[in-house]
């Protein structure tokens, strides 16, 4: 038994190592796909709820959100919310009780992700969060909606590619039956405590996308600001014409077959070794009983 363990220990360790390597390679792709699947389902569910609503429902909900923004512009930006303020905020645009207020589409890096109320970690792990105490993303003069997302999560892309945005690029935010288009006009990197770029600008209709930077260090904040522009005709919320293959998907596609080939070679080598050992044992058995002459050397 001990001899068998010694002979097979190395092979077992190599097999386990290969399996772990495959798992590590495919995890980001599989986890990201899984999150995208659930994000798509959440958006689909939201859209189905919106489709069942009447024009009167749209008007009532949007009017309430716009009045909320008017009150916010009058009193100024305060990131410390009372319980009453928070309850009021969470009731706005929450049409199905899920916390989804709409979704954002960024054609530059091919994402479409739900926007939830608040920026708590359970939200940011799976989607984009609306920064509470800022304007609701329904547009209008003297509004500045702000949404935040993580970078570099192994399980979801979210705002990982936000640093690729350049001035002139656009994104859309869909709330109920309305799609708002924003064009990037300013990119800033600031300290986390610097709120000067997040203030409401009188008469302006702004939206800022926020994430951490530098990648993996996260000591600062990347602020990508856009101003409202007319929706491009027939192209306000359209998916990309082609599918972009990201490096995160290429690595497993190339590496997994190579690992599988190595695993097959290992198994063949192990089988041959076992056959050799079995033949040697059989030959020794026969030699000891005088059934055949020892092999000459």
Q: Residue 187 belongs to a domain with what CATH number?
A: 2.40.260.10
Domain for residue 56, yes or no? yes
Interval 113-122 mean pLDDT: 95
Smallest CA-to-CA distance from 89 within 67, 58, 56 is with 67
Q: Which of 16-25, 161-170, 253-262 has the highest mean pLDDT?
A: 161-170
**Percentage with pLDDT > 70 across the chain:** 66
Domain for residue 88, yes or no? yes
Task: Name the CA dihedral angle for 257, 259, 262, 266, rounded to a multiple of 10 degrees.
Answer: -130
Contacts of 75 (CB under 8 A, 6+ apart): none
Q: Which residues pair with 229 in a beta bridge?
A: 181
> Domain range for residue 207?
51-238
Domain for residue 32, yes or no? no
Domain for residue 172, yes or no? yes
Domain for residue 26, yes or no? no
Question: Does 171 have pLDDT greater than 60?
Answer: yes
Confidence at residue 274, expressed as pLDDT on a 0 to 100 scale: 58
Q: Retrieve residue 283's tokens.
A: 């030959």
Question: Does 45 have pLDDT greater than 60?
Answer: yes
Interval 181-207 mean pLDDT: 95
Distance in angstroms (rounded) separating the CA atoms of residues 91 and 66: 13
Domain for residue 28, yes or no? no
Give this prediction's pTM. 0.72
Question: Does 277 have pLDDT greater than 70?
Answer: no
The distance of Cα 5 from the centroid of its chain, to the nearest Å, equals 44
* Extended beta strands in 118-176, E state: 128-130, 143-148, 170-175
Number of domains in the chain: 1
Domain for residue 287, yes or no? no
Domain for residue 173, yes or no? yes
Q: Which of 20-29, 151-160, 288-297 has the highest mean pLDDT?
A: 151-160
């Amino acid at each position: 038994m001990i001899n068998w363990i010694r002979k097979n220990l190395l092979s077992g360790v190599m097999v386990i190592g290969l399996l772990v390597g495959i798992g590590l390679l495919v995890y980001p792709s599989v986890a990201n796909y899984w999150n995208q699947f659930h994000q798509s389902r959440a958006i689909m569910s939201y859209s189905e709820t919106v489709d069942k609503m009447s024009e009167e429902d749209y008007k009532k909900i949007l009017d309430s959100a716009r009045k909320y923004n008017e009150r916010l512009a009058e009193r100024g930006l305060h990131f410390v919310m009372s319980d009453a303020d928070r309850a009021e905020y969470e009731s706005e645009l929450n049409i199905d009780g899920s916390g989804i207020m709409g979704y954002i589409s960024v054609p530059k890096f091919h994402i479409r992700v739900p926007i939830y109320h608040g920026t708590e970690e359970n939200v940011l792990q799976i989607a984009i969060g609306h920064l509470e105490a800022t304007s609701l993303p329904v547009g209008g003069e003297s509004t500045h909606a702000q949404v935040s997302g993580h970078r570099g999560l192994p399980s979801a892309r979210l705002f990982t590619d936000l640093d690729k945005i350049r001035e002139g690029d656009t994104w859309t935010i869909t709330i109920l039956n309305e799609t708002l288009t924003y064009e990037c006009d300013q990119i800033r990197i600031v300290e986390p405590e610097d709120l000067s770029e997040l203030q409401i600008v009188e008469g302006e209709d702004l939206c800022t996308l926020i994430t951490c930077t530098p990648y993996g260090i996260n000591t600062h904040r990347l602020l990508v600001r856009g101003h409202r522009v007319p929706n491009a005709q027939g192209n306000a919320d359209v998916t990309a014409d082609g599918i972009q293959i990201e490096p995160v998907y290429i690595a497993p596609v190339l590496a997994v077959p190579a690992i599988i080939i190595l695993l097959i070679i290992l198994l063949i080598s192990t089988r041959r070794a076992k056959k050799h050992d079995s033949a040697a044992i059989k030959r020794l058995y026969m030699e000891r009983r005088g059934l055949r002459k020892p092999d000459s050397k």
